[in-house]
Amino acid sequence: MKAEVIWLVALLFLGVAASGCIGGTGTETQAPSTEVQLTGDFTKDVIEIGKVLEANGINEVKFSAWGSGDPNSVMRVYGIVEAARRINRIWEENGINVRIVITETHYVASFQDAYKDYLSKQPLGQAGDFFVNSYAFLPTLAEEGYILDITDYAYAYKGLIDDFYPSLIEASKYKGRLYGLPQDTEARPLYVRKDVAEKIGLDVNSLPEKVKNGEFTWSDVYYWAKKAKESGAAEWGLIHRKGSAHPDLIQFIFAFGGKLYDEETGKLVVDVPAVYKWLYVEWKFAQDGLLPKDIMSWDWAKQIHPTIVEGRTLFDIGGTWYWTEWQTKQYYHGRGLKPEEVKDWFAYTLFPAGEKGLKPVTLSQPFVWMINSKAGQQNPKYDELKDVYHKLAFLILVKASDPDINAIHSVISAHLPVRKEAAKLIKDEKWLNNLKNLNLDLDQEVKENIKDIVKATVNPINAQFLADVSYMLEYTHFAPAHPKYPALADIFKEAVDKVLRGEMTPKEAVDYIIQKVQADPELAQNVEIVGEIPENWTFP
């Protein structure tokens, strides 16, 4: 009897213990959370994400950053590195044993090539977790589901979103949803070589105001370019960029009063009168020897920039970023220019009106930081923690948008700041001095990669240049954020090349564009052909 009682007690004990193991209330074990709600309090959100990762056994999170552009714009990837460091510091200060590692900073010169590479690698899961590129590619990437819709995340960070210039936030949207945060923007001035202008009697001091008033048009550009060439003051009258007609040369369409997009129909537009006038100007300049016929295939470093900085052209269609690129690259007889030389040698204006009665223009192509829709997939427990990894990626973008990071990028690359707080910072002389000495709280890897650019570019002259060109944003246009626009831009590029080389007349080139559009069923559905080639129109 005594033995039976002992046996029953033992069974009862085992039963209680077993019930605890399978979910009873005595010794219940909770599964770690895999969810985080963003609150808009950055430190609080970062700590919460860190705790969730740590509780799930994650101590290291790997991301990669892909970027592209001119040599001075490397903060497009190192901004992500610096943001990761700042988040790691918050975790460390709060005793959270998790660390972000940026495994790759992939940076290439051609943003078109970077885009094509991203497109090809994305389906394979090999594209970067962060991708900074032109807003023009955003619609296609969003349509394909390749980038993350961050609209809901951004609701919690309304204060940050409101500090961006509204037009740039709009450029980061597709079908009303936010797919990235602006990284930079710019204007595209017409540069004028001062010493060449002086030789031929062109007053550059009054030029910006005349251009603003529409008194100096592309007929005047032609007149002075021809005078510079025929007098021997310069080898060329005009140099412009090469490659895709997007985004630089399409300024001609706007300068001739045309449009590229129909808001009502949502279709792209081939505005025949404006496109014809653009191609005619290109053709005329090239046929008269004022613009190289083969410039669309010129080498950037060996031909285009040296021709400009050596004073072998009167005019140049460029970007604000040229201002500091000329200071850091060896374009001038094997060396970079000093800030004082750039200031002394170059004047700058808006892109002139196409003809009397029209307005000057400029064009901006905001770069946008986007998040791969598979961001974080190389990390453990991706399926369980996908939402946490994505929210962490968003917070990295938030931190990479800190005013000082954006201001550093603006000063060293001559791009315009995207946040009002960053615009204030570049006017702060004390902060500029600290930047010049790299006396800022920055990751050592970041400092190492920007020190030569900083040494060459951080100068009050460059800050003043940014202030001087900011007004141009009041005249700015954007290329259409339409998935089929890159295809149309490529056709424009081919047409420009053919008229420059004299292979087609401007009229034949317009017909070529129309035929190419109509031959592509998708383009034909998305493009309107409007207007006729103007009769009896003359240039100059």
pLDDT tens-digit profile, the chain (540 residues): 444 545 544 444 444 444 443 344 445 667 889 999 999 999 999 999 999 999 999 999 999 999 999 999 999 999 999 999 999 999 999 999 999 999 999 999 888 899 999 999 998 999 999 999 999 899 889 999 999 999 999 999 999 999 998 888 988 999 899 999 999 998 999 999 999 999 999 999 999 999 999 999 999 999 999 999 999 999 999 999 886 656 789 999 999 999 999 989 999 999 999 999 999 999 999 999 999 999 999 999 999 999 999 999 999 999 999 999 999 999 999 999 999 999 999 999 999 999 999 999 999 889 999 999 999 999 999 999 999 999 999 999 999 999 999 999 999 998 988 998 998 898 888 999 999 999 999 999 999 999 999 998 999 899 889 888 888 888 989 888 888 888 999 999 999 999 999 999 999 999 999 999 999 999 999 999 999 999 999 999
> What's residue 241's pLDDT?
86
Q: Tell me, which fold does domain 190-363+476-530 have in CATH? A: D-Maltodextrin-Binding Protein; domain 2 (3.40.190)
Say what the pLDDT of residue 2 is: 47
Q: Bridge partners of 29?
A: none
User: Quick one: how many helices (H) and strands (E) in the chain?
Assistant: 25, 16
245 by DSSP, 3-state: which? coil
Residue 177, H or E segment: strand 177-178
Q: Which residues lie closer than 8 Å to 164 by C-beta, 6 or more apart?
A: 181, 182, 401, 418, 419
User: Helices 382-400 and 75-93 meet at what angle, rounded to 10?
Assistant: 110
The CB-side HSE value for 88 (13 A sphere, CA atoms) comes to 16
pLDDT at 20: 40
Closest to 286 in 3D by CA, of 225, 353, 233, 243: 225
pLDDT at site 486? 84
| pLDDT score of 107 | 94
8 A C-beta contact, residue 53 and residue 61? yes
Q: Where in the chain do CATH 3.40.190.10 domains reside?
A: 42-185+366-403, 190-363+476-530
Long-range contacts of 221-225 (CB under 8 A, 24+ apart): 221/190, 221/315, 221/352, 222/281, 222/284, 222/285, 222/290, 222/539, 222/540, 223/540, 224/197, 224/200, 224/314, 224/315, 225/285, 225/290, 225/291, 225/314, 225/315
Q: What is the per-residue pLDDT for 245?
A: 56
- Inter-residue contact 52 to 33 (CB < 8 Å): yes
Q: What is the pLDDT of residue 468?
A: 87
Classify domain 42-185+366-403 at the CATH topology level.
D-Maltodextrin-Binding Protein; domain 2 (3.40.190)
- What distances in angstroms separate CA 320 from CA 38, 69, 361, one per listed residue? 37, 13, 14
- Torsion of the alpha carbons at 175, 177, 179 and 182, rounded to the nearest 10: 100
Q: Tell me the DSSP string of 406-470.
A: HHHHHHHHTPBPSBHHHHHHTT-HHHHHHHHTT-S---HHHHHHHHHHHHHH-SHHHHHHHHHHG
